[in-house]
Structure 1
Amino acid sequence: MSTSTSANGWRHAVQESVSGLPRAFWWLWTSTLVNRLGAFVATFMALYLTIERGYSASFAGLVAALYGLGGAVSSIGAGVLTDRLGRRPTMLVAQASTAVLVAVLAFVQHPVAIAGVALLVGMAASGSRPAVQAMMADIVAPKDRVRAFSLNYWAINIGFAFSSIGAGFIAEYSYRAGFLIEAVMTMACAILVFVKLPESRPDRAPDVAGKAAEPSVNLGTVLRDGRFMGLVGLSILIGLIFQQGSVALPVAMGADGFSSGDFGLAIGVNGVLIVLLQIPVSRFIQHRGPGKLLVVSALLAGYGFGLTAFAGSLWLYALTVAVWTLAEVVNAPVQMGLVVRLSPTHGRGRYQGVYSLSWSVGSLAAPLIGGRVIDAYGAAWLWGGCAVVGTVTAVGYWLLMRGLPEEEGEEEREAGPEAVSGPPEREVPADRAS
């Protein structure tokens, strides 16, 4: 095959992956990219506190935990606001608040103040997630949602890769400058949302009596949705596995005599593969059922980390990272598409909030579990445990998908100033409506 033919084939694949999505999606995608390009706090908070401020590693861990706790707390509230106030107002409040609080964090010095502001930053930074995901579900046609979530996940990782590199150089000059740059970028994201994105929350269709035809949705409705809460539980398990890449992997590699630079090279495989594979993988999974894809992703995640027990060289560590990265590339968009499919149209914010909470719980629990297992039994037991959890999660996905009806076609509707696709997946059963 000639080089020109290969290039033409690659261009055709890219065009098919990005074509046909509404303009509003691309503004939302751009806001995600801008937001992630400015990421600094979450990546360099521990180094800032220990190196710049001279605090202990324990205090840095406490602040990181408070940051994560803030995200867990805000997930539910942001989901409710997404349904009540709308997607756009929730994003604007969350992003503007994040910008202000990150700027404040650059100047506070008292440890109690740092801890308190970090908690608030965590709350604000996570506050826009349910709104972003709900808006994406509103404006993208059902047949294109997995592809859209793949592209959005791609933007997150492109932004993270470049921000991590840039933030490393900025930190050598000034940590405070890094915080202020994040504040400016986050405010730019809020301005972009304000200028370019219309509200997408669907209006309730009135019945003949003038009342809403769809039953209302509250948090009780979400918590009583057995299939969805099963997905949330499986999301926590898969999150516990993936988080070990940043929690336990550096500890295990350090114990084996590898340097922080070696870990950087190994974990860098994750970012590079996501950037390279997300588009072709999204084309592959776009029209395939979620059940088998989720089962395979769970097995790849579990056994990818399980193989780490046998890694004795840098290239073997990199190989294990490649295996579970493929699982991540498949799992993230497919699971997000399933969340939307299981969510009633007028409860998308609350459903997305509870789903976001599952990842926050995984992020909080992973360091505690991983560290405890390594200290008590050794890293090999942790990697074996990941394989077991991956197997359990795969079985859980298989059971969850049994009896799930095929997704029905949905008609276009008007949302905001643009015609966008995003009609309801299903109604809330009367016995689960409040």
Structure 2
Amino acid sequence: MREFAGLPRSLYILLVGHFINRLGSFVVMFLAVNLTNTNQFTVEFIGVIVSILGVGSFLAGPLGGLLSDLYGRKKILVWSLLFNSILLLILALVKSKISILTVVFLLGFLGNMYRPAASSLISDIVPNNDLLRAYRLYHWSFNLAGTVGAALAGYILSKGFFLLSAINAFSSFIYALVIWIFIKEIKTQKVARKISLLSKPFFDPIFFKLFMITTIGNIVFTQLYVSWAIDLTKRGISTTEYGYLLSVNGLLIIFLQPLLGPYIRNFRPKYVLALSAILIGIGFGMNAFTGTFLYYLVSVAFWSLGEIISAGIVLSIAAKIAPIELKGVYQGTCQMTFTIPQFISPIFGSFILGNFGSTTLWISCFIINVFVAIAYLLYRAEDERFSTSSLVTK
């Protein structure tokens, strides 16, 4: 675990709260399951609920980042987490369609503003040379808590959705309490209170190139949430086997990320990102062929390895190249590289899967990621605004 040693004390405190919060954060994941099992609403309406949640999360990234630049990371972290706690409890109690849609939107919006504030806070308290290690630890702790929490969440849900919501609300409250008591507010640079500041990253040509390439690559990666699950089910993979495949992803991250980190930092970021795109492309491209459970296990290992080696790189680059007064806006915009694909992927994947078949879908994913890898490699050295040493601990 030397990969994660020697970082600032404030970072470890932040990540303790982050771990506790993630450990209980499974209401959103099991919301659709609960509504389906209780036969309260149609499948179409449940789809609308998930989409509304996505809209809220999409807006939370840049706006949460801007608010953290204007009013401070600590304030936005605490208030967002407190809103999250309250809204989770309300969600377990409301019954009508309009009330559920309203609460779900607010949960996605207000309850996710803490994310860009947290990642901005990391860039404030960690020296530039250690940023990559810090963001990789952030990613690692998220997956460790997720792997443990997922094993408990299914059992808790069997005891009632309100209990799951209450535990999630309590974990968010504890996170807010940890931040409030142990984290000092970092003074941010004064910045004009203009909504137009949200557009700044899109007019930064270096950041915008990174944003576009990463977003396109994540359209492939997020196929695992819908198209991959549907396709595997059609091929006879049971729910239990599907769960095992997902757990392999979490276990590989937990065990391999600390081991590979020191080696990854010896290479320029664009080469690591390109290799990551190829590995993810191979992993999903393998689904073009039908195989045994072991075959799909190998495919998961490929795209998991791609996720592992690229973890934290984009966030650390964004922190490095962002104007000091707009770190939150840049981190929030980075969040959009994942929320945008969450909108596009189900449409893209289901359309190709339904009209052209799974072979076409997975070959398309492989080809897309080959172009993503090439795009990363075409970054000119003088355009990157960061050197290898800026992401490496000396």
TM-score, length-scaled by structure 1: 0.85
Work out whether residues 138 and 201 of structure 1, in 8 Å CA contact, stay in contact via their aligned partners in 2: no
Structure 1: segments with no counterpart, 5+ residues: 1-13, 205-211, 411-420, 422-434
Q: Distance in 1 between matches of 2:300 and 2:225?
A: 11
The Cα of 1:281 is off from its aligned counterpart by: 1.8
Any idea what the Cα deviations from partners look like across 1:262-281, whole Å, max 9, x if unmatched?
21112221111111111112
Provide the residue aligned with 1:242 in structure 2. Answer: 221
Q: Distance in 2 between matches of 1:361 and 1:405?
A: 25
Structure 1 position 193 matched with structure 2 position 144: no
Q: What is the total number of aligned residue pairs between the two structures?
A: 386
Provide the residue aligned with 1:6 in structure 2. Answer: none
Q: Distance in 2 between matches of 1:25 and 1:87?
A: 13
Provide the residue aligned with 1:427 in structure 2. Answer: none
Larger radius of gyration: 1
The Cα of 1:247 is off from its aligned counterpart by: 1.3
Letter matched to residue 110 of structure 1: S
Any idea what the Cα deviations from partners look like across 1:73-102, whole Å, max 9, x if unmatched?
121211110110011111111111111001
Structure 1 position 77 matched with structure 2 position 63: yes
Structure 1 position 125 matched with structure 2 position 111: yes
Q: Distance in 1 between matches of 2:267 and 2:125?
A: 21
Q: Distance in 2 between matches of 1:104 and 1:375?
A: 37
Letter matched to residue 308 of structure 2: V
Any idea what the Cα deviations from partners look like across 1:4-53, whole Å, max 9, x if unmatched?
xxxxxxxxxx1x22221010000111111011001122210111111125
Any idea what the Cα deviations from partners look like across 1:264-323, whole Å, max 9, x if unmatched?
112221111111111112222234310110110011111210011124111111110110
The Cα of 1:409 is off from its aligned counterpart by: 7.5
The Cα of 1:402 is off from its aligned counterpart by: 3.8
Provide the residue aligned with 2:297 in structure 1. Answer: 318
Which of the pair is proportionally richer in helix? 2
Letter matched to residue 305 of structure 1: F
Q: How does 1:329-408 map to 2 (within 5 A)?
A: 329-403=308-382, 404-407=384-387
Provide the residue aligned with 2:166 in structure 1. Answer: 180
Any idea what the Cα deviations from partners look like across 1:104-134, whole Å, max 9, x if unmatched?
0010001221111111111123211111111
Any idea what the Cα deviations from partners look like across 1:342-361, whole Å, max 9, x if unmatched?
21221101111111122111
The Cα of 1:203 is off from its aligned counterpart by: 4.5
Letter matched to residue 168 of structure 2: E
2:15 maps to which of 17, 29, 47:
29
Q: Distance in 1 between matches of 2:290 and 2:178?
A: 45
Letter matched to residue 321 of structure 1: V
When residues 201 and 298 of structure 1 are mapped into structure 2, their CA distance, relative to the original with a 3 A threshold, is farther
Work out whether residues 97 and 124 of structure 1, in 8 Å CA contact, stay in contact via their aligned partners in 2: yes
Provide the residue aligned with 2:271 in structure 1. Answer: 292
Work out whether residues 88 and 169 of structure 2, in 8 Å CA contact, stay in contact via their aligned partners in 1: yes
When residues 58 and 221 of structure 1 are mapped into structure 2, their CA distance, relative to the original with a 3 A threshold, is same
Any idea what the Cα deviations from partners look like across 1:358-385, whole Å, max 9, x if unmatched?
2111111111111111111111111111
Q: Distance in 2 between matches of 1:405 and 1:163?
A: 39
Provide the residue aligned with 1:431 in structure 2. Answer: none
Work out whether residues 135 and 201 of structure 1, in 8 Å CA contact, stay in contact via their aligned partners in 2: no
Q: How does 1:141-180 map to 2 (within 5 A)?
A: 141-180=127-166
Work out whether residues 267 and 388 of structure 2, in 8 Å CA contact, stay in contact via their aligned partners in 1: no
Of 357-366 and 317-326, the range deviating more from structure 2: 357-366
Letter matched to residue 259 of structure 1: S
Q: Distance in 2 between matches of 1:320 and 1:183?
A: 36
The Cα of 1:329 is off from its aligned counterpart by: 0.8
Any idea what the Cα deviations from partners look like across 1:121-154, whole Å, max 9, x if unmatched?
1112321111111110111111111111111101
Q: In structure 2, the residue corresponding to 1:198 is in which secondary structure?
A: coil
When residues 366 and 201 of structure 1 are mapped into structure 2, their CA distance, relative to the original with a 3 A threshold, is farther
The Cα of 1:165 is off from its aligned counterpart by: 1.1
Letter matched to residue 123 of structure 2: A
Any idea what the Cα deviations from partners look like across 1:384-423, whole Å, max 9, x if unmatched?
111011011111111235423443989xxxxxxxxxx9xx
Superposition CA RMSD, Å: 1.8
Q: In structure 1, the residue corresponding to 2:311 is in which secondary structure?
A: helix
Work out whether residues 321 and 386 of structure 2, in 8 Å CA contact, stay in contact via their aligned partners in 1: no
2:92 maps to which of 106, 129, 138:
106
Letter matched to residue 155 of structure 1: S
Q: Distance in 1 between matches of 2:389 and 2:279?
A: 31
Structure 1 position 262 matched with structure 2 position 262: no
Q: In structure 2, the residue corresponding to 1:288 is in which secondary structure?
A: coil
Of 101-110 and 246-255, the range deviating more from structure 2: 246-255
Q: Distance in 2 between matches of 1:197 and 1:17?
A: 23
TM-score, length-scaled by structure 2: 0.94
Work out whether residues 52 and 105 of structure 2, in 8 Å CA contact, stay in contact via their aligned partners in 1: yes
Q: Distance in 1 between matches of 2:241 and 2:290?
A: 13
Identity among equivalent positions (%) equals 26
Q: Distance in 2 between matches of 1:311 and 1:35?
A: 38
Of 327-336 and 177-186, the range deviating more from structure 2: 327-336
Q: Distance in 1 between matches of 2:70 and 2:386?
A: 30
